[in-house]
Structure 1
Amino acid sequence: MNRVVYWLVSGFIALMLISSMVFVVDQRRFALVFALGEVKDVIATPGLHFKLPPPFQNVVYLDKRILTLDTPDADRFITAEKKNILVDAFVKWRIVNPKLYYVSFTGDASRAKDRMSQIVKAALNDEITKRTVREVISGERAKVMEAVRVKVANDAAQIGVQIVDVRLKRVDYIEQINNSVYERMKAERTRVANELRSTGAAESEKIRADADRQRTVILAEAFRDAEKIKGEGDAKASQIYSEAFGKNPEFYKFYRSLEAYRNTFNKQSDVMVLDSNSEFFKYFKNPGAGK
């Protein structure tokens, strides 16, 4: 019985010893093998590996995937025009020298992120201070990102990090500048609106004046044509009257007298005081004179 227990205990100890000497490296991680606090080996090949049992050797793992450094708040920078803008950027990075990275930050990931944030901020400050607001926001945004990436890559290489990409998520004015920009845009739009109103009013007056001119011309031409037709009619009537008068002058006088009587005595209230021997009553006294 004692021998069985002895072999079970020995087997368990041997199993624990073997398990402490075996470790698995995932394809997404680096493995740093330490011996008495010093990095002895860096393993990047995935698979099963062996080491000495603790405390002689131990293993620390580092992520080899592309990571993202994204600050929660935008940073303030000053442009070449001495104007403040807010810039929100993010960085894609990965560890390419695990030993240098670990030694630089003693394995503290927060220290590594703080260091890279400082590098990115310094590079952004160098590039933005050389450019105007317009260039940073739209004109040379791609150039700014590329220049920042190159500068950050050179500094990050010294701590075992490769910078894959640098992007500006948002570039905006601070609140005070936003208000001034909005006021300037409002004033510009108001000026354009006033110019359009003035142009519209001028065009309206021009169209109205042209319409009035055309109306005056049309009325004048219509009056001219009417007077012409009226004149032609009067001439024709005069010609007819003249021809009728020439054929029978006495009858013409009689007919004209009848028209005069009709127009004169068309109302009962009309009163005329004339001499009975007046020429007006010629055909009253002698009706047969017009035959």
Structure 2
Amino acid sequence: MNRIVTFAVTAFIALMLLSSTVFVVDQRKFAIVFALGEVKQVIREPGLHFKLPPPFQNVIYLDKRIQTLDSPEADRFITAEKMNILVDSFVKWRVVDPRLYFVRFGGDEGRAGNRMSQIVKAALNEEITKRTVREVISGQRGKVMEGLRAKVDAEAKEIGVQILDVRLKRVDYVEQINNSVYERMKAERLRVANELRSTGSADSEKIRADADKQRSVILAEAYREAEKIKGEGDAKATAIYAEAFGRNPEFYKFYRSLEAYRASFKTKADVMLVDPNSEFFKYFKGSGSAGK
């Protein structure tokens, strides 16, 4: 009975020792094997591996996947024209040298994040201070991010990290500058509107003057044409009168007298004081004589 108990205890201890010498590395992890606090081995490939039991050797794991470092709030920077802007950014990174990364930060991701934030902020400051607001916001934003990634990646290699991408999520003015920019934009729009109004007024006056000129020319030409037609009509009428007078002068005189009578006695209220023996009543007398 004692032998069975002893065997069972021995087997259990052996199993515990064996299990403490075996470890599995996930495909998403790096494994660092320590011997008495010193890094002895870095395992990059997934699978089953062996080590000495504690306290001779221990294992810690580091994530090899791409991670994101996102700034909690926007940082303030000064541009080339000495204007303050707020920049919100994020960084895509991963561990490429587990040994160096662990030596620098002891596996503390918080310390690693703080260090990378400092690196990114310094690189951002260097890139933004040599560019204007317009260039940072739109004109050279791609160049800013590319230069930023190259600078940050070069420094991040010293801590065992590779920077895959750096992006500017938001670039904005600070509150005071927003107000001044708005006022400047408003003033600029008003200036452009006033220029357009003055240009429109000048064009309107020009069009109106041209229209008045054309109107005067058209009226003058129409008046000239009317006078010409009227003159031709008068000439034809005079010719007709002359021809009629030449054919029968007495009838022509009679006809002209009738027109004079018609013009003189248009209404019953018309009154004329004329000598009855005057030439004006010549045909009245003749008409009366003819009646008799």
Same fold (TM over 0.5): yes
**Secondary structure, aligned partner of 2:12:** helix
Alignment-derived partner of residue 154 in structure 1: 154
Residues 176-232 of structure 1 deviation map (CA, whole Å, 9 limit, x = unaligned): 112222222222121111111111111111111111111111111111111111111
- Give the whole-Å Cα distance in 1 for the aligned partners of 2:162 and 2:284: 135
What's the counterpart of residue 218 of structure 1? 218
Q: Any idea what SS the aligned residue of 1:231 has?
A: helix
1:34–1:41 contact (8 Å) kept in structure 2 = yes
Q: Could you report, residue by residue, the CA deviation over 1:105-151 in whole angstroms, capped at 9, with x for unpaired residues?
A: 12211011001111111122223223332333334333333333333
2:68 matched to which residue of 1? 68
The 1:255–1:74 alpha-carbon spacing in structure 2 relative to 1, beyond 3 Å, is: same
Q: CA RMSD in A?
A: 2.1
Q: Secondary structure at the match of 2:260?
A: helix
Query: Is 1:237 the equivalent of 2:232?
Result: no
Q: Map of 1:16-55 to 2, 5 A cutoff?
A: 16-55=16-55
| SS of residue matched to 2:48 | strand
Q: Which residue of 1 aligns with 2:138?
A: 138
Q: Secondary structure at the match of 1:87?
A: strand
Q: Which residue of 1 aligns with 2:187?
A: 187
SS in 2 for 1:286: helix
Residue by residue, what CA displacement relative to the aligned partner does 1:87-120 show, whole Å, maximum 9, x if unpaired?
2222222112212211211221101100111111
Q: Which moved more, 1:234-243 or 1:127-136?
A: 127-136
Change over 3 Å in CA distance of 1:262–1:59 after alignment to 2: same
CA distance in 2, matches of 1:193, 1:77: 34
Corresponding letter in the other structure for 1:53: P
Contact 1:26 1:47 in 2 (8 A): yes
Q: In the comparison of the two structures, how many residue pairs are matched?
A: 290
Provide the rounded CA distance (Å) in 2 between the counterparts of 1:190 and 1:203. Answer: 20
Change in CA separation of 1:113 and 1:245 when aligned onto 2, cut-off 3 Å: same
- Structure 2 vs 1, CA of residues 270 and 143 (structure 1 numbering), >3 Å: closer, same or farther? closer
The whole-number CA distance in structure 2 between the counterparts of 1:249 and 1:191 is 83
Deviation per residue, 1:51-106 (Å, 9 max, x gap): 12222222100011222211121111112322211122222221122122112112
Matched, 1:286 2:286: yes
Give the partner amino acid of 2:167: R
- After superposition, the C-alpha distances for 1:232-278 in whole angstroms (9 at most, x for unaligned) are 11111111111111112112112222222223223222222222211
- Distance (Å, rounded) in 1 between the aligned partners of 2:160 and 2:82: 36
Greater mean deviation of Cα atoms: 244-253 or 22-31: 244-253
Deviation at 1:31, TM superposition (A): 0.4
- What SS class does the counterpart of residue 77 from structure 2 fall into? strand
Q: Which residue of 1 aligns with 2:56?
A: 56
SS state of the match for residue 82, structure 1?
coil
CA pair 130-281 structure 1, distance change in 2 beyond 3 A:
closer
> Quick one: distance in 2 between partners of 1:245 and 1:219?
37
Is 1:108 the equivalent of 2:142?
no
Greater Cα shift, 156-165 or 219-228: 156-165
Q: 1:250·1:289 contact (CA, 8 Å) conserved in 2?
A: no
User: Does residue 13 of structure 2 align to residue 13 of structure 1?
Assistant: yes
Give the TM-score normalised by the residue count of structure 2: 0.91
Gaps of 5+ in 2: none
SS of residue paired to 1:76: strand
1:120 aligns with 2:139: no
1:7–1:289: structure 2 CA closer, same or farther, 3 Å change rule? farther
More divergent stretch after superposition (52-61 vs 5-14):
5-14
Match of 1:266, SS? Answer: coil
With 24-33 and 76-85 compared, the bigger mean Cα shift is at 76-85
Distance 1:277 1:134 in 2: 107
Change (3 A) 1:118 1:230: same
In the alignment, structure 1 segments of 5+ residues that lack a partner are none
Paired with 2:267 and 2:148, the residues of 1 have a C-alpha distance of 111
